[in-house]
Structures are given as C-alpha cells and as structure tokens.
Amino acid sequence: MTANSPSVFLLMINGQIEGANFPEYDDLYCKYCFVYGHDWAPTSGLEEGISQITSKGRDSPHRLVWNFPLEITFKSTNPLGWPQIVVSVYGPDTFGNDVVRGYGATHIPITPGQHTRTIPMFVPESTSRLQKFTSWLLGRRPEFTDPKVVAQGEGREVTRVSSQGFVTLSFNIVTKDTKRLGYDTTATETTHTHPVAAGFGPGNQTLSM
C-alpha cells in the first residue's frame, strides 16, 4: 500500500427524523442512538439525541412532525457492522407517566444520495394478563433497559411484541474512499429492509441494501 492510499473510508450522514404516525397517541417525543460494529468509530457529530414534544395538528390529525436533525460522520476499515439507527418514541399514558410508545431500527443507507426510510415501530408486551394489568395500573409498561438491543437479533425470538405506528426518516449520505479500499457503494438497486451481510472482504465488493 502506498503512502497516499487511505487506511479508512468515511460515511457522512445528514438528515432528520421527520415525524411519525401513531393514530392512538399524541404529545410524543423521540430519542435516537446509533449502533455500529467494532471496526467503526464516530469522528464528528452526535451519537444520540432527544427531540422536542410534538402534537398533532388540525391539518394532519394523524401525523406528528419533529423534523429533528441528524448529523454524524463515521470512519471504518470494512463494512462489517454497518451503522444502524435506533429510534424510541415516548409519550404520556392515562395517568401522565412517560411510557414507551414504540421502538424501531434501520440500517443507514449504503448508496450515496438522498434516501427516505419508514420504520415500523413495536413495543414489548407483558407475558400474562396479570402482568399487563399491573403494568397499566402502575404506569410501568414493559420496556427495554437499553434500546440498542432493538438493533441486535439476540433474544428477539423470545420477546413478545406488538406493532404500533411508524416513524419516517430522511438521509443525505456521502461516502469517501470506499472505492479506493475496494468497495463499491454505487449499486443501482436498493431495498429498505435488507441488512448488510457479514463477511465482506476487500476486492471490489458490491454493497447493496
């Protein structure tokens, strides 16, 4: 490798958490954090944040708007562990307690340019009717101790959940030096749900998501 050859590539993320659709709830706010592999490191920007509380408007009775900005840059030596963003939504219950209204996660888009992602949200459910009633009575519904587990597969198959709501995000993605390290992020076809596959090695690999 020559002296001018890069040792890392950069992934620059700008965008926003635009809003959400939770037909049954109002006065909600969201938190976000990034989850990434061991070979990745943030070089600038914020890894986590919390939005303002927003309410539904007369013009859009089912739509909550945050327009909460996202800006962060990562560096890495390989695409294994490509970053994901985890979003958690919270709001008041009947008794005014803050409870979780939804968790969701998505991989950051691989291809440079503008992208929009709509994340289906879910919440953990109590395993019995008694636990469900007790949670409602005490205002302590089930939630994850660490929301980052949403981006991991371990233990998810034994967790009872229910779906509720959607969150929409927009991204403007810029990459630097990926091709010089042998990775092609200019795939012509992208999807919204496929994660980055493990086991990439150098040598003109084509990444798609």
Task: Classify residue 82: in a domain, yes or no.
Answer: yes
Which two tokens mark 29? Answer: 């706010």
Task: Classify residue 65: in a domain, yes or no.
Answer: yes
pTM above 0.95, yes or no: no
CB atoms closer than 10 angstroms to residue 102: 25
Span 132-143, pLDDT tens digits: 656 555 556 667
Task: Classify residue 195: in a domain, yes or no.
Answer: no
- Residue by residue, DSSP assigns 134-190 as HHHHHT-----SSGGGGG--TTGGG--EEEEEEEEEEEEEEEESTGGGTEE---S--
Query: Half-sphere exposure (CA, 13 Å, Cβ side) for 202?
Result: 11
Q: Residue 82: which domain range?
A: 9-181
The CATH number linked to 38 is 2.60.40.150
Span 47-69, pLDDT tens digits: 999 999 999 987 777 899 999 99
Task: Classify residue 206: in a domain, yes or no.
Answer: no
Which two tokens mark 180? Answer: 């010089």
Confidence of residue 176 (pLDDT cuts 50, 70, 90): very high
Number of domains within the chain: 1
Span 11-22, pLDDT tens digits: 999 999 999 999
